[in-house]
Amino acid sequence: MTPAISCRGLQKHFDDVKAVDGLDLEVSPGECFGLLGPNGAGKTTTIEILEGLTKPDAGEVTILGRRWGGQERELRERLGISLQESRLTEKLTVYETLELFRSFYERGRDPERLLEDLALEEKRDARVGKLSGGQRQRLAVACALAGDPEILFLDEPTTGLDPQSRLQLWERIAVFKAAGRTVLLTTHYMEEAERLCDRVAIVDHGRIIALGTPAELIAGLHAPHIIEFSSEPAVDDELLSSVPGTGERRQRDGRWQLAAANLAQAVPALLSTLDDAGARLVSLSTHRATLEDVFLSLTGRELRDE
Amino acid sequence: MNRRAQVETTERRRGAPSERRNPLFALTRARLLEFVREPEAIFWVFAFPIIMAMILGFAFRDRPADKVAVGVAGEAGLRAVSGRPLASPALTVTVFPTVRAGLDALRVGKIALLVENADPPVYHFDPTRPEARIARLEVDDAIQRAAGRRDPVAFRETEVHEKGSRYIDFLLPGILGLNLMGTGIWGIGYSIVTSRLKKTLKVMVATPMRKSDFLLAQIGSRFFFLVAELVVILAFGVLAFHVPIRGSLALLCLTALVGMLAFAGLGLLVASRARTLEAANGLMNLVMVPMWLLSGVFFSSERFPQAAQPFIKALPLTALNDALRAVMLEGKGLPAIAGALAVLAAWGLVSFGVALRIFRWQ
C-alpha cells in the first residue's frame, strides 16, 4: 500500500541553525501520526516541508504517491492544511471565510456543515476579528476541512486553547480519523498525542529520537511507574542508588523522580531507606509513566520549556 | 434573483451537495467586503480627495478684482470738488477728519491714495506701488467724470469668464489621477503585505487556489472602487465647481480604467516582496512621492526643465494626468491620448508580469 506521507533524509537549515537534520518518516493511510517535541525541535519546519510550503535542502517527500512540484494543485485538492498561528482575514465573517476557502476546491464540504462540524453555528455571522482564540483555531481547522481532504495536516492545533475548545477539536479530529482519513499533527502536549495518535515520533534537534505507538514508547522505559517525592533534609543521588527496584532518577525543583517497575516493591524500599538516613518524607506521589517521562528519559529535558 | 438565492440557501442547509463558487469571484468579493468594512479606507479613497479639492478649490478660487482702498480728507469730503461724492465700483472710500490722519493711514498702507480736499484737489500716493497707481487712475477718472468729462472715443467691453481656464479646472483631473495612484498602490500594497505578515497568504497558498486568481482579484476589486471614485470625484467637480467635461465621457472612463490598471500593477509590484509594513511603506513612498511632485498634479509638469521632460512624460501619473486633462478640458479624442494610454498600459503589463514572477507568497 502506498504510504499517505513519506519522507527520507529530510534536511533544512536556516542560516546556521539546522532545523531538520536527516529525518525519515512514513505515515500509512488512515493513520493519525504525531510529531512530538519541544519548541524549536524542527516540527513546524518538517510539517511545512511535507505540506510543500518549504523546500528542503535535501531529502525526498512523497504525499499520496506524488512529489511536490509539477501538478501541485491536483495534490492540494486532496489535502487540508492548518498552519501554526496563522490569522484569517479579520473583516470577514466566519461563514464568508468558509465560503471563500470552499471556493478554492473542486469538491468539498458545505460551509454550513463545516460550521456544525466545529460547533461554530452560533458564530456564523460574527467577524473573525471578534472570535476567541479557540473559535479562531476551530475556524482554521474548518477551513482546512473545506476541501473534504484525504490528509489533514495540523500544526500545533490546540496550543494556547482553553480545555473546552481543545476537547471539541479532539473530537472533530477523531471523527475525521474514524472516516479512514490520515492525520499528521505536531504538538507538545503529551495528552494530545496519547489520546489522538496511533503512532508518535519524538523529535528533538531536527531528528526523530523515538518512534512507535504511545504504549510502545512508554513500555520502552522498562519502568512504567514514576515515584515523585521530597524529603527533609533532602537526600542525595548516592543514597537513592541503593533503593532496590528503582531505575532512572532525576531531580527537579527539589523533588526526586524515580522510575520503578513495581510500585509494591519500590515504595516500601524507598521509605525504609529514607528512614534509615534520618530523612522525613514531605510529599510522595506516583503516576503511570507518560510520553512526558519518555521524553524526559530520552533527553533529560522537559517538553514544555515555556 | 433574491428568491432563487433564498431557495439555494435553504437547500444547502438541508445538506444538498456542496456547490462551488467561482474562486476568482469569491476572492474579489472577499476583498471588497474587507474594504468596505474598513472605515479608514473609505475615508482615504472618497473623502480625502474631495476635501483636498475643496480646500485647494477655495484657496485658488477666482475672485472679483480687489477693490482699492483710498481716503478723502476734508470736512465735506469731495462734494466740494465735484458736487457729488467720490463713487467707483473699484474703490473703497474712507473719509478722514484731517489731512494729517489721512496721511498717517497712507503711511501704514491702510489706504493706497489720499485725496486732499483742496482747490485743486491733491493726490497723495506712492507711484512705486502698482496698487497706488491703479488708485490714482480710478480716483482721477471718477473725479473727472463727476465733473462732467466725456470720453472722446466710444468703446465696448466684453468680459471673459471661461470655465475650464480656472485653477480648479486644472486641479480636478490631477486629483483624480492622484487618487487613482494612491488607492491603487496603497489599496493593493497594504492588503497584500498585511496578509503576508499575518500568514493569511500562506494559508491560501496551501490550498489549491490559483495564485493568478488571487492577484487578479486584487485588481478586479480595484475596478469597483474605480467606478465609485470616478463617480464621486467627477460629480463633486461638476456640481460644486462646474468643472467642464468637454470630451467623451466614455473616453474619460477608459482613460481612468487604463490608469487604474497601471497603478494596480505597480501596487502588486511594490508589495511583491516586502515582508514588513515599514518596508512596503518606504517603497510606496519611493514610487509615489516623485510623481506627486513631478507629474503635474498641482501645477503643470511643463515647469520643469526641458531636459527632464522625457523622464517626466514617461511616468505613469504624468501620462494619466495629461490624458485626463486632454479629454476633460480640451475635449480631445482617442488619437490625441493614445500615446499616454500606451505608456500606462506598458507600466501595468510590465509591473504585473514582474510581480507575478517575483511574488513572495510566504
Interface with B, mutate which of A45, A66, A73, A100 (most B CBs under 10 A): A100
Interface predicted TM-score (ipTM): 0.82
Band (pLDDT 50/70/90 cuts) for residue B61 is low
What is the side-by-side order of every strand in the sheet holding A151-155? A79-82, A151-155, A182-187, A32-36, A199-204, A207-212
Q: Do residue A103 and residue B27 have CB atoms under 8 angstroms apart?
A: yes
Q: Is the pLDDT confidence value at B14 over 50?
A: no
Chain A: closest CA distance from residue B173 (Å): 33
Written as one string, the DSSP assignment of chain A is ---SEEEEEEEEEETTEEEEEEEEEEE-TT-EEEEE--TTSSHHHHHHHHTTSS--SEEEEEETTB-SSSSHHHHHTTEEEE-TT----TTSBHHHHHHHHHHTSSS---HHHHHHHTT-GGGTTSBGGGS-HHHHHHHHHHHHTTT--SEEEEESTTTT--HHHHHHHHHHHHHHHHTT-EEEEEES-HHHHHHH-SEEEEEETTEEEEEE-HHHHHHTTS--EEEEEEEES---HHHHTTSTTEEEEEEETTEEEEEES-HHHHHHHHHHHHHHTTPEEEEEEEEE--HHHHHHHHHSS-S---
Chain B: closest CA distance from residue A230 (Å): 47
Beta strands in chain B (DSSP E): 68-73, 91-96, 113-116, 122-125
Instruction: For residue A76, give the chain B residue with the closest CA.
Output: B208
Band (pLDDT 50/70/90 cuts) for residue A4 is very high
Q: Do residue B203 and residue A83 have CB atoms under 8 angstroms apart?
A: yes
- What's the pLDDT score for residue B15? 43
Chain B: closest CA distance from residue A164 (Å): 25
Lowest mean pLDDT among A75-79, A227-231, B165-169, B221-225: B165-169
Q: Is A73 on the interface with B (CB under 8 A)?
A: yes
| CA angle (A131, A137, A141) in 5-degree steps | 125
Q: Is A53 on the interface with B (CB under 8 A)?
A: yes
Chain centre to alpha carbon of residue B284: 20
Q: Is the pLDDT confidence value at B76 over 70?
A: no
Interface with B, mutate which of A103, A121, A137 (most B CBs under 10 A): A103
Q: Do residue B195 and residue A89 have CB atoms under 8 angstroms apart?
A: yes
Which residue among A73, A88, A96 sits closest to B33, beta carbon to beta carbon? A96
Query: What is the phi-psi region of residue B213: left when phi exceeds 0, alpha when psi lies from -120 to 50, beta otherwise?
Result: alpha
Instruction: For residue B199, give the chain A residue with the closest CA.
Output: A86
Q: Do residue A87 and residue B21 have CB atoms under 8 angstroms apart?
A: no
Residues of chain A contacting residue B37, judged by C-beta atoms under 8 Å apart: 91, 127
Q: Is A136 on the interface with B (CB under 8 A)?
A: no
Q: Is B207 on the interface with A (CB under 8 A)?
A: yes
* Model confidence pLDDT, tens digit, residues B110-160: 899 998 887 788 899 999 988 899 889 988 888 888 777 888 888 888 876
- What's the pLDDT score for residue B284? 92
Q: Do residue B33 and residue A105 have CB atoms under 8 angstroms apart?
A: no
Q: Is B209 on the interface with A (CB under 8 A)?
A: yes
- What's the pLDDT score for residue B13? 44
- What's the pLDDT score for residue B162? 65
Residues of chain B contacting residue A76, judged by C-beta atoms under 8 Å apart: 206-208
Which residue among A77, A83, A111 sits closest to B208, beta carbon to beta carbon? A77
Tally the C-alpha atoms within 13 A of residue A196's C-alpha that lie toward its C-beta.
33
Band (pLDDT 50/70/90 cuts) for residue B73 is confident
Chain A: closest CA distance from residue B348 (Å): 27
Residues of chain A contacting residue B20, judged by C-beta atoms under 8 Å apart: 102-103, 105-108
* Model confidence pLDDT, tens digit, residues A29-54: 999 999 998 888 899 999 999 999 99
* Model confidence pLDDT, tens digit, residues B214-250: 988 998 888 888 888 888 889 888 888 888 889 999 9
Rounded to whole angstroms, the Cα distance separating B346 from B262 reads: 8
Residues of chain B contacting residue A145, judged by C-beta atoms under 8 Å apart: none
- What's the pLDDT score for residue B184? 87
% of chain B beyond a pLDDT of 90 = 33
- What's the pLDDT score for residue A253? 78
**Residue that has been written with the C-alpha cell 461563514 in this structure:** A95
Chain B: closest CA distance from residue A148 (Å): 11
Given a contact cutoff of 8 angstroms between Cβ atoms, the answer to whether A184 and A198 are in contact is: no
Chain A: closest CA distance from residue B184 (Å): 20
Q: Is B331 on the interface with A (CB under 8 A)?
A: no
- What's the pLDDT score for residue B85? 62
